[in-house]
Amino acid sequence: LLTEYNRATEKLFKVIIIGDPGVGKTSFIRRYVQNAFRGDYKATIGVDFALKIVRWSENQTIKLQLWDIAGQERFTWMTRVYYKEAQGCIIMFDLTSRNSFKNAVKWKKDVDSKCFLEDGAPVPCMLLANKCDLQQREVDQWEIETLCREHGFIGWTETSAKDDLMVGDCMRFLIEIMMKYN
């Protein structure tokens, strides 16, 4: 009986995080899970995993299995395998890199062509504009707004893994959406 009770109050979600190399995917996850930040860049090889346990309410615990997928092209041939059965997706770009912003659309199309929810609906994707702590921006807010709308993202926000801006907030938003879909 106790096991049944626990099962009913615990949910597991697989979330993938993708985007160009160096945009800050690993840093975002490190901030969210360990509340830490490192200034040096060590490219992810293939994929890394992290688990975040969220106390959602008094009787609801959520386990997030975070798949931190390498942005470097020599690893992306495996993405179909990594995306499998994802229930949520984060697509990240770097506000100081116009190229990474353009490529967010490529990443969105990649997910939508390879991966679906159980009922065939597209996987809910949130767009994150990271490194908002930096001054030298190459992308305007209205451009992000437009891209977000035209390509079917569930929403977007600026984030900073470095200064811990909007990291927890956007994850709460994504969890709320995944709770509705599942």
- The span from the CA of 106 to the CA of 43, in Å, is 20
22 binds ligand GTP (CB under 6 A): yes
Give the three-state DSSP class for 171: helix
> Quick one: which segment of 6-14, 53-61, 64-72, 119-127 binds ligand GTP (CB under 6 A)?
64-72
Binding-site partner at residue 40 among Mg ion, ligand GTP, none, CB < 5 to 8 Å by type? ligand GTP
Backbone angles phi, psi at 155, to 5 degrees: 165, 170
Name the token pair of 169: 């907030």
Each residue 98-117 as x (binds ligand GTP by CB under 6 A) or -, in order, gives --------------------
The amino acid that residue 98 corresponds to is R
Within residues 115-144, the interface with ligand GTP by CB under 6 A covers 130-131, 133-134
The answer to whether 40 and 50 are in contact (CB under 8 A) is no
27 binds Mg ion (CB under 5 A): no
R_g of the chain, CA atoms, integer Å: 16
164 binds ligand GTP (CB under 6 A): no
43 binds ligand GTP (CB under 6 A): yes
